[in-house]
Amino acid sequence: MQTKLFIGGAFVDAVEGTTIPVLNPHDGSPIADIAEARAADIDRAVAAARAAFPAWSRMAAADRGRLLLKLADRIEEDSASLARLESLDTGHPLRDTRGLDVPRTAATFRYFGGMADKVQGSVVPVEAGFLNYVQRTPLGVVGQIVPWNFPLMFTSWKMGPALAAGNTVVLKPAELTPLSTLRIAELMAEVGFPPGVVNIVPGYGATAGQHLAEHPGVDKIAFTGSTATGRRIVQASAGNLKRVQLELGGKGANIVFEDAFLPAAINGSAFAIFHNQGQACIAGSRLLLHEKIADAFLDGFLKLAASIRVGDPMDPATEMGPLTSRQHQERVLTYCRIAHQEGGEILLGGMPPQDYALSKGFYLQPTVVRAQPQDRVCQEEVFGPFVAVSTFKNEEEAIAIANGTEYGLGGGLWTQHLQRAHRVANAMRSGMVWINCYKRVNPGSPFGGIGQSGYGREMGFEAMHDYTDAKSVWVNVDAQIPPWYPR
Ligand code: NAD
């Protein structure tokens, strides 16, 4: 399979003609050669987005919304093939891409389609003789850079609010997983998005991504990825002082109190870390157990983790697929070695599965490690099916450990004590908290972090706010001739 760049409403070759190989994480075999966007292609895409902006931003908001709604319908019609494409490219099990990634993508586009004509301004009660109203106006051309872990869903998280608000978009998918994003571009063209409103330019971060982040023709960069790259984006954005929104790494604390309902906590904690092979910024990668229930919890948790069916993502029975790249598999294995060197105890996994049928793929067994809160494996984002377990004595200590990393994205707690639940949620330094559940997301609920997890919010009205400016208009409604000096 060969793919092209999507610029100005058409699929076009890259200016320099270079390509990037895309591999199947199940067995390392090549599945596509994608056209590689470099600086000249980014320039073309930004120019196309800029040219499309005046008409798109002036289009009736309800009409922009209607296109997003049509896209959501079209995604649902195409759901079987989109799910297969996403599984092939990323290694997500088909049961997840069918059951979560595709429906959530459609739901998010639909949510923002409905939102397009509901972004209202306000009238401010100012002094007599004046009317002051505030309009929400689109920013212009938005550059969007996303990672490889949920490429399909990110199309909707990023483009949904940006387009609904009247911006035009240049989106750079991760070089590892661009296929579903290119398919969404096809569907957008089919349902009638005008040329240039959306441009898709897969390429490497250091070239295409950096150029987009620096580009003087881009008004905002919305970035999802690692904290290290986020810092580079901020620096690159300084030239034209473009707006920046950052969804960065996380090290989610998942606290199980002594009064938790353990069967639910065990299941929820497994989903928190093993769904999508742990390649989620909001993964519950630190499991904090009250010392009184630690043994009982671990007994059930380890049994469950050991029973997870690891295998070919295209097999509908598979519960955990491969990691998305060889390089990433090696990175997670390095953390298994670090855990060992730091004196941690590997309670489960720590290596690729022994199954010969999986030996060419980028697999890793579900891994559970006992470690101390200050260890590297409890402080650094591993981004794999790797959970670090530590214990605590009381609520105060649990909160201190939970808040003891540089990150602040998502975290959870399990307790049947109503007051404790809200008290601890309130004390957690985290953009999102889940009580007796984990990793719930919904297009209406703000998503984002604090601290080194970034700033700005996706989803909900917050996202619309982040993709618009507040324009304040003052009107003199007084019948009198004003004095020369303001009252
Ligand atoms: P990454 O930062 O290496 O890459 C992310 C994207 O940035 C890719 O498209 C990449 O090509 C691009 N990029 C790389 N260098 C760049 C540069 N100098 N300038 C511009 N763009 C550049 O991250 P990754 O390893 O691909 O993804 C995993 C990370 O993403 C994890 O840290 C994870 O927590 C984070 N993430 C965060 C969220 C969130 O919403 N907070 C969601 C998913 C993933």
What CATH number corresponds to the domain at position 229?
Answer: 3.40.605.10
Looking at 36, 175, 214, 281, which residue is catalytic?
281
Q: Are residues 43 and 176 in the same domain?
A: yes
Domain match, 61 and 105 both:
yes
Q: Are residues 199 and 262 in the same domain?
A: no
Residue at 95 is within a domain: yes
Domain range enclosing 58: 5-248+453-473
Q: Are residues 234 and 292 in the same domain?
A: no
Sign of CA dihedral 295, 301, 305, 306: positive
312 and 421 belong to one structural domain = yes
- Is the separation of the CB atoms in 427 and 411 below 8 Å? no
192 and 297 assigned to the same domain: no
On whether the CB atoms of residues 443 and 108 are closer than 8 A, the answer is yes
CATH code of residue 407: 3.40.309.10
The two tokens of residue 130 are: 């004046």
Could you tell me if 79 and 210 lie in one domain? Answer: yes
Cα of 223 to ligand 1 centre, how many Å? 7
Q: How many domains does the chain have?
A: 2
- CA dist 196 and 464 (Å) reads 21
Amino acid at 65: G
Q: How far is the CA of 224 from the centre of ligand 1 (A)?
A: 5
Most ligand 1 atoms within 8 A of CB, residue of 229, 242, 326, 458 to mutate: 229
Per-residue pLDDT of the chain (487 residues; tens, 9 = 90+): 789 999 999 999 999 999 999 999 999 999 999 999 999 999 999 999 999 999 999 999 999 999 999 999 999 999 999 999 999 999 999 999 999 999 999 999 999 999 999 999 999 999 999 999 999 999 999 999 999 999 999 999 999 999 999 999 999 999 999 999 999 999 999 999 999 999 999 999 999 999 999 999 999 999 999 999 999 999 999 999 999 999 999 999 999 999 999 999 999 999 999 999 999 999 999 999 999 999 999 999 999 999 999 999 999 999 999 999 999 999 999 999 999 999 999 999 999 999 999 999 999 999 999 999 999 999 999 999 999 999 999 999 999 999 999 999 999 999 999 999 999 999 999 999 999 999 999 999 999 999 999 999 999 999 999 999 999 999 999 888 888 886 5
Would strands 30-35 and 19-23 be described as parallel, antiparallel, or unpaired? Answer: antiparallel
Residue 237 lies inside a defined structural domain of this protein: yes
Contact status, residue 335 vs residue 351, Cβ threshold 8 Å = no
Q: Per the domain annotation, does 340 fall within a domain?
A: yes
Q: How far is the CA of 247 from the centre of ligand 1 (A)?
A: 9
The answer to whether residue 335 is domain-embedded is yes
- On whether the CB atoms of residues 64 and 163 are closer than 8 A, the answer is yes
- For residue 60, being part of any structural domain is answered with yes
107/235 same-domain check:
yes
Euclidean distance between CA atoms 203 and 248, whole angstroms: 20
| pTM, full prediction | 0.96
- Together in a domain, 105 and 237: yes
- Classify residue 486: in a domain, yes or no: no
Element (H, E) at 229: helix 227-236
Residue bearing the CA closest to ligand 1, atom 22: 205
Q: Could you tell me the two tokens for 141?
A: 């051309």
Atom of ligand 1 nearest to the CA of 226: 32
And the tokens for 38? 């470099």
Give domain status of residue 316, yes or no: yes
Do 115 and 222 fall into the same domain? Answer: yes
The answer on 261 and 241 residing in a single domain is no
Q: Is 336 a catalytic residue?
A: no
Candidate from 226, 244, 379 with most ligand 1 atoms within 8 A of CB, to mutate: 226
What DSSP state is assigned to residue 310? B
Verify that 155 and 264 share a domain, yes or no: no
